[in-house]
């Protein structure tokens, strides 16, 4: 669905570790390339064109055009040890020489931070761990009709300590520390669709395979709460119920995820009718995000969730089958088979996906001839 909130009119400040903001840059000339690299096999006796293709790595690129072009800005603040400073009283010069230099020793972290945004709001940042200016490609531009500018391409180097999944940098909040998800659920679709429910069971026919996918549910609890207003409570299948004592007027809405205290169960609001600003009847989808639907008693506290993220995590998970004599599940990134179910014999097996201390609901796979 189209959403104007996703349209951004934004330039970026360039912040270099140990130097800070490098100052004015030219509009529309800060460019980032993801540089994802692929390998492929083309053409066979049976088909023309690509017959196999896989992601092999990344080679991100960055180019910045600066408007603060006095030599100390370029050579002291940016070029670092790649040039040789010469001081003679008030006279300064910088030598370009043939001395060799390990550029990993000169690499700095570099962050693109949206201009005019609070310095501690990292939501739309782009951060590279290790970057060095490519002086072989620097262009000093100038003319009668405009201010001089300098185009500086940067080489993005790998940070081996960062791990395979973030070797070069991060897009978004680079201060985020990876945490276990609240819940994990399994689907037969590569991309989970709202309301994001777990598939409890499926059948796998003789000598066949099927790919399933793990999705993680992340959330934080907001301060908006209400109470269940059903004298007899509700069952695990009740789809509509009343609430009261909502602490924010009209604080729940269609599309919200709500958490029931005591059971950790999550529901997804599909309809809501307010009787007053603090009382309403809600219709929901149950058993959301890999948490089993449960019974809830009258006055159970219901909390609105914020920062809800549903992310594909098949490659991060450790997959297991309770009965490998009947059905196996792939668990190798190297073989690209994570989540791949394979029939072995008639029977059944329970499939789970685990990240840290979080285990998915069980997917029961019945194997049959």
The model's pLDDT over 101-160, given as tens digits with 9 standing for 90+, comes to 999 998 999 999 999 999 999 999 999 999 999 999 999 988 777 789 999 999 999 999
What's the pLDDT at 4?
86
Place of tokens 């951060």: 127
Model confidence, pTM: 0.77
Question: Over 70: is that where the pLDDT of 14 sits?
Answer: yes
Given this model, what pLDDT does residue 85 score?
92
pLDDT of residue 260: 96
* 19: pLDDT strictly greater than 80: no
Measured CA to CA, the distance from residue 90 to residue 86 in angstroms comes to: 10
Cβ–Cβ < 8 Å for 219, 257:
yes
Residue 6 has pLDDT above 90, yes or no: no
Query: pLDDT for 302-360, tens place per residue?
Result: 999 999 999 999 999 999 999 999 999 999 987 889 999 999 999 999 999 999 999 99
Looking at every residue in the chain, the average pLDDT score rounds to 93
| Predicted pLDDT at 18 | 66
Q: Which two tokens stand for residue 40?
A: 């492929």
The answer to whether the beta carbons of residues 220 and 317 sit under 8 Å apart is no
- Distance, CA of 30 to CA of 244 (rounded, Å): 52
Domains along the sequence of the chain with CATH: 9-171 (2.40.30), 183-215+312-368 (2.60.40.1080), 219-309 (2.40.30)
Q: What is the pLDDT of residue 280?
A: 97
Let me know how long the chain is. 369
**DSSP reduced 3-state for 136:** helix
pLDDT (0 to 100) of residue 1: 66
Q: In Å, how far are 79, 113, 239 from 19, measured between CA atoms?
A: 12, 15, 57
Q: What is the pLDDT averaged over residues 252-258?
A: 96
Quick check: 230 and 252 in contact, CB under 8 A? no
Which residue did the predictor score with more confidence, 290 or 282? 282
What does the pLDDT average to over 80-92? Answer: 92
Work out the average pLDDT over 241-256: 97
Q: What does the pLDDT read at residue 333?
A: 84
pLDDT band at 3 (very low <50, low <70, confident <90, very high): confident
Distance CA 304, CA 282 (A): 13
Q: Average of pLDDT values for 157-171?
A: 92
């Amino acid at each position: 669905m189209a959403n104007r909130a996703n349209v951004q009119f934004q330039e970026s400040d360039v912040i270099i570790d140990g130097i800070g903001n490098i100052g004015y840059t030219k509009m529309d000339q800060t460019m980032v390339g993801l540089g994802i690299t692929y390998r492929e096999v083309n053409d066979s006796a049976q088909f023309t064109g690509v017959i196999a293709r896989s992601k092999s790595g990344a080679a991100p690129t960055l180019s910045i055009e600066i408007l603060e072009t006095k030599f100390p800005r370029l050579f002291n603040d940016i070029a670092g040890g790649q040039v040789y400073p010469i001081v003679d009283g008030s006279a300064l010069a910088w030598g370009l020489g043939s001395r060799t230099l390990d550029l990993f020793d000169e690499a700095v972290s570099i962050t693109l931070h949206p201009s005019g945004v609070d310095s501690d709001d990292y939501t739309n940042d782009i951060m590279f761990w290790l970057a060095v200016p490519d002086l072989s490609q620097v262009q000093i531009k100038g003319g009668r009709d405009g201010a001089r500018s300098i185009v500086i391409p940067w080489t993005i180097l790998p940070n081996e300590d960062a791990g395979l999944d973030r070797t070069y940098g991060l897009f978004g909040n680079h201060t985020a520390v990876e945490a276990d998800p609240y819940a994990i659920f399994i689907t037969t679709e590569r991309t989970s669709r709202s309301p994001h429910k777990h598939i409890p069971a499926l059948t796998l026919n003789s000598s066949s395979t099927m790919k399933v996918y793990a999705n993680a549910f992340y959330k934080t609890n907001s301060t908006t709460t209400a109470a269940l207003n059903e004298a007899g409570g509700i069952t695990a299948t009740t789809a509509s119920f009343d609430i009261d004592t909502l602490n924010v007027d009209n604080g729940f809405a269609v599309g919200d995820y709500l958490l029931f205290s005591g059971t950790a169960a999550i529901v997804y609001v599909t309809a809501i009718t307010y009787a007053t600003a603090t009382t309403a009847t809600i219709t929901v989808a149950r058993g959301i995000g890999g948490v089993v639907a449960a019974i809830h008693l009258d006055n159970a506290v219901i909390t609105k969730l914020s920062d809800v993220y549903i992310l594909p995590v098949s490659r991060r998970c450790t997959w297991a089958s309770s009965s490998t004599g009947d059905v196996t599940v792939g668990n190798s990134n190297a073989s690209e088979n994570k989540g791949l179910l394979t029939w072995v014999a008639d029977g059944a097996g329970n499939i789970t996906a685990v990240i840290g201390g979080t285990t998915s609901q069980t997917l029961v796979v019945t194997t049959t001839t």
